Amino acid sequence: MSLFTKMFGGGKGSKPPTAGEAIQKLRETEEMLVKKQDFLEKKIQDEIKVAKTNGTKNKRVAIGALKRKKRYEKQLQQIDGTLSTIEMQREALESANTNTNVLQTMGDAAKALKRAHQDMDVDKVHDMMDDIADQQDVAREISEAISNPVAFGQDLDEDDLLAELEELEQEALDEQLLETGGADTSELPEVPTATPAAPATAAKKKTQEDDDMAELAAWAS
């Protein structure tokens, strides 16, 4: 019975392991082989030390140590190859397991979507969308009607309004003219009635002339 048969139970009549079980077993085998590697590497170092120690003293012991080292190295090489094979197989199983889970999830989603669509009638959906559109139109019309202000007096003649406005403007102009022509004079200053007094220089000049005439008359007599 091969190693893989022992690992995965490939005998007749046995149930094959799942991908998850196989991956777990491969990981356990990898851990075991890595420990074997560490053991062989330590043994190789020990045999090298023995060969160096007895190389000049006891060649027979030194050669025996080198022979054992060669066997350990061959085993180590085999384990390295086995680990590479197991690692590739584990990665392939992990990828297959991931793809299986993804496909299963997608299949479940497709079934759920199909079941959800089975509960829907396309014609009923279209009818419902038409009803929603109609109700939106009604709501928009109501909103527009509410937002428009009520217009009072739209039946009035605009020409009549213009004529009335001209009359009002004319009345305002007449009032301004009346206020300008009939201004209140009660507060104006009174016109003086007395003759203004002659300037002081003119009175002095007249007095001088009278004195000169008097003196001339006295001289002539």
pLDDT at 194: 56
Lowest mean pLDDT among 114-118, 172-176, 200-204: 200-204
Measured CA to CA, the distance from residue 13 to residue 45 in angstroms comes to: 46
Would residue 71 count as lying in a domain?
yes
Residue of higher predicted confidence among 152 and 58: 58
Q: Give the per-residue pLDDT at 197.
A: 54
Quote the CA–CA distance of 68 and 61 in Å, as a whole number.
11
Residue 159 confidence (pLDDT): 81
Contact 86, 27 (CB under 8 A): no
Distance between CA atoms of residues 112 and 119, nearest Å: 11
Reply yes or no on whether the pLDDT at 201 is more than 60. no
Residue 97 lies in a domain: yes
Domain membership flag for residue 213: no
Non-local (6+) Cβ contacts of 103 within 8 A are none
Domain ranges, residue 47: 3-122
Tokens of 78: 């085999």
152 is a domain residue = no
Q: Please check whether residue 26 is in contact with residue 18, taking contact to mean a CB–CB distance below 8 angstroms.
A: no
The CATH number covering residue 28 comes to: 1.10.287.1060
Residue 219 belongs to some domain of the structure: no
* Per-residue pLDDT reduced to its tens digit, 1-59: 444 455 545 555 568 888 888 889 999 999 999 999 999 999 999 999 999 988 888 88
